[in-house]
Amino acid sequence: MTSCPFSPDSSSGGAPADGDAGATPESIVAAERAQLDFQGRMGYGDYLQLDAILGAQKPLSPAHDEMLFIVQHQTSELWMKLMLHELGAAIGHIAQDELPPAFKKLARVSKILEQLVHAWDVLATMTPPEYTAIRPYLGQSSGFQSYQYRCIEFALGNKNAAMLKPHAHHADRLAQVQAAYQAPSLYDECLRLLARRGISVPASHVERDWTQPYLSDAAVEQAWLTVYRQPEQHWDLYQLGEELTDLEDAFRLWRFRHVTTVERIIGFKRGTGGTGGVSYLRKMLDVVLFPEIWALRTDL
């Protein structure tokens, strides 16, 4: 009889087959030879520094829902940390003309953003009275002061010197945000790549003061149109353009869910960070990160 590769064979030390009479949770663990003794050995919680991570939820109010509020923000910050890691690497790859690894990382950034878009559903289970119980304890703190978020915005090209100020009192964070502010953005590196590939890009976009907000330019749209009109001649640049589109699309959705979630929870109250609240967040919906990538669609 030939043996089936999927049926566990007890002589090779696998778990008892499903429905095996006498199998107990304990006998299964023993048969699988799971490592159970971690005296002097690195385990799961050690490797992941879980004592630090799971010890960092410190509600200030007596409200039940503050745990949701804290966990939602902390998980968002962890995903932002990964986004920055991937974005920085992708920008480096593009600067070195290494497109396949850049694509891998940009696709991951878009997927993280999609996940963060869905994460709003969890926070939206919090009602206005539930948040009202927490809000007085937040003081003037606000997501506006998220230094990782500001680094992401800067890496994506939305440069604004005023956004450095909330970090002026903290040297390490300021240095991190300043570095992102001064460096060429993802889109800047894409345009430099187009120029290196012999596609005409204005000199003002190949070398410029990277701290200045990006200004859209008809000649840059022409450069992208060269790619999009003959994809087979510029296949990787065409793929790059579509990955930028995926990324900005996902980022727009995140911004949109932020505004709608904020409106359903605090209405039109002013933000703890000092802005008008929903009115400010709506203005941010008008930000376009990669303008020519969108404009060219009208001309194709």
Ligand X SMILES: N[C@@H](CC(=O)c1ccccc1NC=O)C(=O)O
138 is a contact residue toward ligand X (CB under 6 A):
yes
Smallest distance, Å, CB 76 to ligand X?
9
For 100, other C-beta atoms within 10 Å of its C-beta total: 9
275 binds, among ligand X, ligand HEM, none (CB under 5 to 8 A by kind): ligand HEM
284 is a contact residue toward ligand HEM (CB under 6 A):
yes
273, 280, 282, 287: residue in contact with ligand X (rule CB under 6 A): 273
Q: CA-CA distance, 212 to 182, in Å (whole number)?
A: 9
Q: Which residue is nearest to ligand X (CB)?
A: 143
Q: What is the DSSP letter of 144?
A: G
- Which amino acid is present at 189? E
141 binds, among ligand X, ligand HEM, none (CB under 5 to 8 A by kind): ligand X
Report the residue number, 21 or 162, with the smaller CB distance to ligand X. 162
Note every long-range contact of 89-92, with CB atoms under 8 Å and residues 24 or more positions apart, other chains counting. Answer: 90/186, 91/155, 91/183, 91/184, 91/185, 91/186, 91/189
104 is a contact residue toward ligand X (CB under 6 A):
no
- Residues 131-160 binding ligand HEM (CB under 6 A) are 131, 142-144, 146, 149
Smallest distance, Å, CB 63 to ligand X?
14
Helix then strand then coil, % of the chain, to nearest 5: 65, 0, 35
123 binds, among ligand HEM, ligand X, none (CB under 5 to 8 A by kind): ligand HEM
72 is a contact residue toward ligand HEM (CB under 6 A):
yes
Length of the chain counted residue by residue: 300
- Give which of 143, 129, 142 is closest to 64, Cα–Cα: 129
Q: Which residues are annotated as a binding site for substrate?
A: 69-73, 131, 135, 272
